[in-house]
Structure 1
Amino acid sequence: MKDSESVTTQQSSVQVWTKALAESTGSPGGGAGTGVMLSIAAALTSMVAGYTEAEEAQREQLAGIHARAHALRQAALQLADDDASASNAFGAAFRLDPGPERDDAVHQASVDAAKASAVLGERAINAIEDLGWLAANGNPALIADVVVGFGALRAAIAGARTNVSFDLASLTSAGTTLQEVRGQHPDLWNTVTRLSDALDRIDELTAGVDEKAAPTEAL
Structure 2
Amino acid sequence: MTATTALPLRQQSITGFLDTLAAKVPAPGGGASAALHLAQAAALVAMVARYTTGAKYAEHEDLVTVICDRADTARSNALQLAEDDMAAFTGVIESYRLPKGTEAEVRARAEAISAAAARAAGVPADVVDGAAAVLELAERLLPVANRNVISDVAAAADAARAAATTARVNVEINLGSITDGETHTILTARARRVDDLMARADAVTARVRELLTS
TM range (shorter): 0.7 to 0.9
The answer as to whether partners of 2:118 and 2:183 remain within 8 angstroms in 1 is no
The amino acid across from 1:110 in the alignment is A
Q: For the residues of structure 2 that align with 1:200 and 1:8, how far apart are their CA atoms?
A: 34
Question: TM-score, with normalisation over the residues of structure 2?
Answer: 0.87
2:44 corresponding residue in structure 1:
44
Following superposition, the deviation at residue 97 of structure 1 comes to 5.1
Q: For the residues of structure 2 that align with 1:135 and 1:31, how far apart are their CA atoms?
A: 28
Q: For the residues of structure 1 that align with 2:125 and 2:211, how far apart are their CA atoms?
A: 33
The amino acid across from 1:41 in the alignment is A
Whether 2:114 is the aligned partner of 1:107: answer yes
Of 143-152 and 33-42, more deviation after overlay is shown by 143-152
Matches within 5 A, 1:69-148: 69-96=71-98, 98=100, 99-148=106-155
Following superposition, the deviation at residue 3 of structure 1 comes to 4.7
5+ residue gaps, structure 1 = none
Following superposition, the deviation at residue 15 of structure 1 comes to 1.0
Following superposition, the deviation at residue 71 of structure 1 comes to 1.4
The answer as to whether partners of 1:32 and 1:79 remain within 8 angstroms in 2 is yes
Q: For the residues of structure 1 that align with 2:3 and 2:177, how far apart are their CA atoms?
A: 27
Name the count of aligned residue pairs: 207
Q: Per-residue displacement from partner, 1:134-193 (whole Å, max 9, x unpaired)? A: 22221111122122111211111111222122211232xxxx5xxx73x44433222112
The answer as to whether partners of 1:118 and 1:164 remain within 8 angstroms in 2 is yes
The answer as to whether partners of 2:31 and 2:85 remain within 8 angstroms in 1 is yes
The amino acid across from 2:15 in the alignment is Q
SS in structure 2 at match of 1:170: coil
The amino acid across from 2:194 in the alignment is L
Query: What is the aligned-residue identity percentage?
Result: 33
Question: TM-score, with normalisation over the residues of structure 1?
Answer: 0.85
The amino acid across from 2:159 in the alignment is A
RMSD: 2.2
Label 1:127 to 1:10 Cα distance change in 2 as closer, same or farther (>3 A).
Answer: same
